[in-house]
Amino acid sequence: MEAIQNYSRRDFVKTIGLASGGLLLAANSSLFASESTSAIETFNPNLFVYLQTDGTLTLIASRSEMGNGVRTSLPSIIADEMEADWSKVVVQQALGDAKYGDQNTDGSRSILYLYETMRKMGATAKALLITAAAQKWNVPEAECIAQHHFIVHSSGKKLGFGELAATAKTLEFPKNVTLKNPKDFKYIGKTLKSVDVANYANGSAVFGIDKRIPNMKFVAIARCPVTFGTVKSFDKKAALKIRGVIDVIEIPRIAKPFGPLGGVAVIASNTWAAFEGKKALTIEWNYGSNASYTSADYQKTITEGVLQPGKVAKSIGDIDQAFAKAHQIVESTIQLPLLAHAPMEVPNAVAWVKGDSCEVWAPTQDPQTARKEVADYLKIPLDKVSVNITFLGGGFGRKSKPDYIVEAVMVSKAINAPVQVVWTREDEIKHGYYHTESAQYLKAALDAQGNVTAWLHRFALPSIMSTFVPGTEYPAEWEAGSATDIPLDVPNFKVETGKAPAHVRIGWMRSVINIPHGFSVNVFANELAHAAKKDPLEFRLKLIGPDRIENTQDAIKYNTARMKHVLRQAAKNANYGKALPQGHAFGIAVQYSFYSYVASVVEVSFINNKVKVHNVYTVIDCGTVINRDTVKAQLEGAAIFGMSLTYYGKITAKDGAIEQNSFSDYPLIRMNEAPKIHVEIVESTENPTGVGEPGVPVIAPAIVNALFQLTGKKYYNLPLIDYEIVG
What band does 45 get if pLDDT is binned at 50, 70 and 90?
low
Q: Are 456 and 321 in contact (CB under 8 A)?
A: no
Q: What is the pLDDT of residue 42?
A: 60
- Secondary structure class of 165 (helix, strand, coil): helix
> By C-alpha distance, which of 670, 666, 641 is closest to 652?
666
Element (H, E) at 274: helix 271-280
Within the chain, how many helices (H) and strands (E) appear? 19, 29
Return the half-sphere exposure (C-beta side, CA atoms, 13 A cut-off) of residue 170. 7
Q: What is the pLDDT of residue 34?
A: 32
What band does 599 get if pLDDT is binned at 50, 70 and 90?
very high
Structure confidence by residue, pLDDT tens digits, 280-331 = 999 999 999 999 999 999 999 999 999 999 999 999 999 999 999 999 999 9
How far is it, in rounded angstroms, from Cα 303 to Cα 297? 10
How far is it, in rounded angstroms, from Cα 643 to Cα 521? 18
Q: What is the pLDDT of residue 23?
A: 21
Q: What is the pLDDT of residue 555?
A: 63
> By C-alpha distance, which of 711, 601, 691 is closest to 69?
691
What percentage of the chain carries pLDDT values higher than 90? 89
What band does 19 get if pLDDT is binned at 50, 70 and 90?
very low
How far is it, in rounded angstroms, from Cα 210 to Cα 348? 10
Share the mean pLDDT of the chain.
92
- Secondary structure class of 334 (helix, strand, coil): strand
Whether the predicted pLDDT of 46 surpasses 70: no
Structure confidence by residue, pLDDT tens digits, 339-375 = 999 999 999 999 999 999 999 999 999 999 999 999 9
How far is it, in rounded angstroms, from Cα 368 to Cα 364? 9
Residues comprising the chain, all counted: 727
Q: What is the pLDDT of residue 169?
A: 85
Close Cβ partners of 608 (under 8 Å, ≥ 6 residues apart): none
Close Cβ partners of 91 (under 8 Å, ≥ 6 residues apart): 58, 59, 60, 61, 71, 72, 75, 195
Structure confidence by residue, pLDDT tens digits, 225-281 = 999 999 999 999 999 999 999 999 999 999 999 999 999 999 999 999 999 999 999
Work out the burial of residue 174: count CB atoms within 10 Å of its CB; fewer than 13 is exposed, 13-18 middle, 19 or more buried: middle
Q: Are 423 and 346 in contact (CB under 8 A)?
A: yes
Element (H, E) at 332: strand 328-336
- Residue 35 is which amino acid? E
Structure confidence by residue, pLDDT tens digits, 470-513 = 999 999 999 999 999 999 999 999 999 999 999 999 999 999 99
> By C-alpha distance, which of 413, 411, 410, 387 is closest to 399?
387
What band does 434 get if pLDDT is binned at 50, 70 and 90?
very high
Q: What is the pLDDT of residue 530?
A: 98
Strands (E), 117-262: 144-147, 150-153, 158-160, 217-222, 230-235, 245-251
Listed as own residue / partner, the contacts of 575-582 with beta carbons closer than 8 Å and 24 or more positions apart are 576/537, 576/601, 577/537, 581/605
Domains, in order of start, for the chain:
9-202 (3.30.365.10), 212-288+347-422 (3.30.365.10), 295-339+433-723 (3.30.365.10)
Which of 18-27, 85-94, 357-366, 575-584 comes out lowest in average pLDDT?
A: 18-27
- Secondary structure class of 284 (helix, strand, coil): strand
Element (H, E) at 389: strand 385-389
Q: Are 340 and 434 in contact (CB under 8 A)?
A: yes
Close Cβ partners of 23 (under 8 Å, ≥ 6 residues apart): 1, 2, 100, 101, 102, 114, 117
Q: Are 546 and 487 in contact (CB under 8 A)?
A: no
Q: What is the pLDDT of residue 602?
A: 98
Whether the predicted pLDDT of 14 surpasses 70: no
For 195, other C-beta atoms within 10 Å of its C-beta total 20
Whether the predicted pLDDT of 654 surpasses 70: yes
What percentage of the chain carries pLDDT values higher than 70? 93
Structure confidence by residue, pLDDT tens digits, 703-716 = 999 999 999 999 99
Q: What is the pLDDT of residue 564?
A: 98
Q: Tell me phi and psi for residue 220, to 5 degrees.
A: -120, 145
Q: Are 129 and 163 in contact (CB under 8 A)?
A: no
Beta pairing class for 89-93 and 57-61: parallel
Whether the predicted pLDDT of 677 surpasses 90: yes
- Secondary structure class of 126 (helix, strand, coil): helix
CA separation (Å) from 491 to 34, 456, 603? 63, 11, 33
Whether the predicted pLDDT of 7 surpasses 80: no
- Does residue 694 have a cis peptide bond before it, meaning omega lies within 30 degrees of 0? no
Q: What is the pLDDT of residue 38?
A: 35
Whether the predicted pLDDT of 16 surpasses 60: no
Q: What is the pLDDT of residue 44?
A: 58
Give start and end residues of each alpha helix (H) in 416-464. 425-430
- Residue 198 is which amino acid? A
* pTM for this predicted structure: 0.93
Whether the predicted pLDDT of 576 surpasses 50: yes
Q: What is the pLDDT of residue 50?
A: 87
Q: What is the pLDDT of residue 17?
A: 30
**CA–centroid distance for 585 within its chain:** 31
Nearest-10 crossing angle of helices 110-137, 70-82: 30
How far is it, in rounded angstroms, from Cα 250 to Cα 281? 12
Which of 1-5, 90-94, 121-125, 211-215 comes out lowest in average pLDDT?
A: 1-5
How far is it, in rounded angstroms, from Cα 181 to Cα 158? 23
How far is it, in rounded angstroms, from Cα 678 to Cα 558? 25
Q: What is the pLDDT of residue 6?
A: 44
Whether the predicted pLDDT of 127 surpasses 70: yes
> By C-alpha distance, which of 162, 134, 187 is closest to 53?
162
What band does 672 get if pLDDT is binned at 50, 70 and 90?
very high
What band does 56 get if pLDDT is binned at 50, 70 and 90?
very high
CA-based Rg of the chain, rounded to a whole angstrom?
A: 27
Whether the predicted pLDDT of 4 surpasses 60: no
Whether the predicted pLDDT of 22 surpasses 90: no
